[in-house]
Amino acid sequence: MAETSPIPIVDFGKFLSGGKEEKELVARQIDDAFRNVGFVYLKGHGVEREMVERCFEWSKKFFALPSETKLLAPHPPGGSHHRGYSAPGVEKVSQHTYDAAEIAKLREVPDFKESFESGNPHDSAQPNIWLPEDALPGFRAFMESYFTSCSTLVHHILDALSIALSVPDPGLSPTHSKSLFQLRILHYPAIEKSELENRSRINAHSDFGTLTLLFQDSVGGLEVEDPNQPGTFRPATPIEDTVLVNIGDLMARWSNDRWRSTVHRVGLPPPKPKLAVNTMANSEGRRADIVLQEDGDDIVPDRYSIPFFAVADMETVIDALPGCWDGEGSRKKYEPVTAWGYVQMRMKALYDG
Ligand SMILES: O=C(O)CCC(=O)C(=O)O
Ligand SMILES: [Fe+2]
C-alpha cells in the first residue's frame, strides 16, 4: 500500500501547444497509461489554477451552509435525474449490482459524504437544481463557468485519444458534442479514525461514463486498484497542479477493453511519517534535527474533491472503436449499445433500492 502509485504524470501542455509530433507523443503516453492503469495525471491541462482554487472555495462555502439551506436544492429521489444536493448517506455506490435485494443490503452502510451535482445548463433532460441565488450569491455563475472549463479539457483529451487510435478527423469529440457532462462537488466530513478503519469514504467502484476528471485537495485517501494485483489498492496521491483523469466503463467497453476502467475508492489518508526532518536556521547556519512526530490524530480531516464525469451524446452507438478490435487479431467483445441505455442502467443502481 505504501508503494508509489503506478499512475504516470503526462505533460498535457505539450499536447495543447505542441506541433504534430508532440501531440502524437502525448497521445501515445496517455494511451499507454489508459491501457496499463486506466488513470493518468495531467499537468499543463489548461484549467487555470486560480479556477481550481476558487472551485474548492465555493465548495467549502456550499457545504458549510446549514442543512436546511442545502436542502433547498434537493437531489430528486431515484437515479434518473442526477442533480442537486445529496445529504450524507443518500447515495451508496454500488459496483455492478443490479439486483434489488443486493442494492438494498449495500445501502445499509451509507458512505460518509455529501455532494452537489450540476450539469450543462442546456441539458433539458436533466435540468440543474440550484439554490435560490440569495442563499449563496455567485455560486451558480461560478459552477457554470467551471463546467465550461472542464468540458473544454474533456474535448482536448478526446482529441488526444482520437490521435492515439487514428480515428479519422474530426475524431471522437463530436460524439460528445452536446457535452452532457456532470460536475460534482464532494465533501467527506471529518470523522473519527476508528469509524473509518473498517469502512470507506466512498466504496470501491468504477465510473460508468467515458472519462472522469478529478481534482482533489491535499488530504489524500484516494486509492486505485493495482491492475497487476487485483484486490490490492495503491494510493493515488494528490499532486499539485495536476488533474487525475480516468477511463469509465462506457469507454472501456467502447475501446473493446483496450483501456481499463479501474476500480477506485476513498479511505483513510496514508499515515503521516513518524519521523520528520526539522531544519532550523541558527547562528551556525542550518542544522537538521530528526524529530519524532506524534501520530495522535484521532480525527480524519474533512476532504473535498471535484470529479467531472463525461459521457457520450445519448444517441451515440457504443460499438468497438477503430484500432481496438481489428489489426491485433482481436474481435469485438460487446454488442453495440447506445450511451443512453447504458447510463440509465447504471444510474438506477445508484439510487434505487
Ligand atoms: O473523491 C474522490 O477522490 C473520488 C470520487 C469518485 O471516485 C467518484 O465520485 O466517482
Ligand atoms: Fe469514481
Q: What residues does ligand 1 touch, defined as CB less than 6 Å away?
A: 186, 202, 207, 214, 216, 222, 264, 266, 305, 307
Alpha carbon nearest to ligand 1 atom 10, residue:
207
Domain layout of the chain by residue ranges:
9-351
Atom of ligand 1 nearest to the CA of 222: 3
Residue 344's pLDDT is what? 77
Q: Please list, residue by residue across 316-329, b when 16 or more beta carbons sit within 10 angstroms of its beta carbon and e when fewer do.
A: bebebbebbbeeee
Tell which residue, 285, 286, 265, 264, has the closest CA to residue 277: 286
CA–CA dist 140, 136 (Å, integer): 8
ipTM score of complex: 0.99
Atom of ligand 1 nearest to the CA of 221: 3
Q: If you measure from the C-alpha of residue 307 to the centroid of ligand 1, how many angstroms do you get, rounded to a whole number?
A: 6
CA–CA dist 7, 24 (Å, integer): 20
Residue 295's pLDDT is what? 54
The percent of residues in the chain predicted with pLDDT above 70, rounded, is 83
Residue 343's pLDDT is what? 78
Residues 6+ apart with CB under 8 A from 58: 138, 139, 142, 143, 185
Q: If you measure from the C-alpha of residue 202 to the centroid of ligand 2, how many angstroms do you get, rounded to a whole number?
A: 8
Helix or strand holding residue 195 (H, E):
helix 193-196
Amino acid at 326: D
Tell which residue, 139, 153, 181, has the closest CA to residue 55: 139
Q: Residues of the chain whose pLDDT is less than 50? A: 1-5, 107, 353
Query: 9-351 architecture in CATH?
Result: Sandwich (2.60)
Amino acid at 2: A
C-alpha separations of 127 from 28, 208, 216 in Å:
37, 20, 26
Give the predicted TM-score (pTM) of the model.
Answer: 0.88
Atom of ligand 1 nearest to the CA of 309: 10
CA–CA dist 352, 204 (Å, integer): 19
CA–CA dist 12, 23 (Å, integer): 9
Q: Grid coordinates 482554487 are at which residue?
A: 53
Alpha carbon nearest to ligand 1 atom 8, residue:
307
